């Protein structure tokens, strides 16, 4: 059994039952919907208690439940550049704004990155008379490049070594 086969099965059940993602996330609970949906789509791992709940909801076998608890091969199955317009717009934001983000984050935080692992994200509908908006709040831990061999801690005036 491959993870994508499990994903296809879960989507078949969701369609048959007429469930929404909201209903599914409420039933499984315990984690951000982006992560729960991501796991059901084969991109994230469900921790054991949630995998158990998902298995009950979808009527999965024990082996399928265990597979939901496995770390999948992330990124598999998403063509890059994305062909789907909804996903492509995010890709475009990275391509067009990436250099500016780099400049501003490095000036504020020093040399490093925003973690894509210790990372949280929330999406809410922002009512707006000109047309509602998708509001996304992301928060990722800043991870400074470590300059090993610099044990005496030579500082770089301009940013602080964490």
Residues 8-47 that bind a second copy (CB under 8 A): 8, 12, 15-16, 18, 20-22, 30-35, 37-38, 41, 43-45, 47
Sequence-distant (≥ 6) Cβ neighbours of residue 155 within 8 angstroms: 161
Strands (E), 66-130: 112-126
Find the catalytic residue in 70, 92, 107, 122.
92
Find the catalytic residue in 89, 107, 133, 162.
89
For residue 92, indicate whether it is catalytic. Answer: yes
**If binding is defined by CB under 8 A, does position 59 make contact with a second copy?**
no
Nearest-approach distance from CB 59 to a second copy, in angstroms: 16
For residue 89, indicate whether it is catalytic. Answer: yes
**If binding is defined by CB under 8 A, does position 140 make contact with a second copy?**
yes
Rg (CA), the chain: 20
Which string of x and - marks every residue 61-100 that binds a second copy (by CB under 8 A)?
A: --x--xx-xxx-xxxxxxxxxxxxxxxxxxxxxxxxxxxx
| Of 148, 143, 124, nearest in space to 134 by CA | 124
* Alpha-carbon dihedral 61, 65, 68, 70, rounded to 10 degrees: -120
Find the catalytic residue in 61, 115, 139, 162.
115
> CA 118, CA 141: separation in Å to the nearest integer?
6
> CA 70, CA 18: separation in Å to the nearest integer?
27
> CA 23, CA 148: separation in Å to the nearest integer?
49
Smaller CB separation from a second copy, 59 or 96: 96
- Residues 94-133 touching a second copy, rule: CB under 8 A, are 94-109, 111-121, 123, 125-126, 128, 130-133
Smaller CB separation from a second copy, 57 or 88: 88
Show which residues are catalytic: 89, 92, 115
């Amino acid at each position: 059994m491959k993870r994508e086969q499990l994903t296809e099965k879960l989507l078949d059940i969701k369609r048959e039952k007429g469930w929404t993602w909201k209903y599914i996330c409420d039933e499984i609970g315990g984690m951000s919907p982006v992560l729960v949906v991501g796991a059901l789509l084969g991109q994230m791992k469900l921790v054991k208690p949630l995998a158990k709940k998902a298995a009950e909801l979808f009527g999965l076998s024990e082996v399928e439940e265990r597979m939901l608890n496995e770390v999948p091969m992330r990124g598999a199955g998403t063509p890059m550049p994305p062909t789907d317009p909804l996903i492509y717009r995010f890709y475009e934001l990275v391509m067009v704004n990436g250099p500016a983000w780099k400049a501003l984050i490095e000036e504020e935080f020093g040399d490093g990155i925003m973690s894509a692992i210790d990372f949280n994200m929330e999406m809410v509908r922002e009512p707006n008379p000109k047309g509602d908006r998708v509001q996304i709040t992301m928060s990722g831990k800043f991870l400074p490049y470590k300059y090993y061999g610099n044990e005496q801690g030579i500082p770089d005036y301009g940013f602080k070594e964490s």
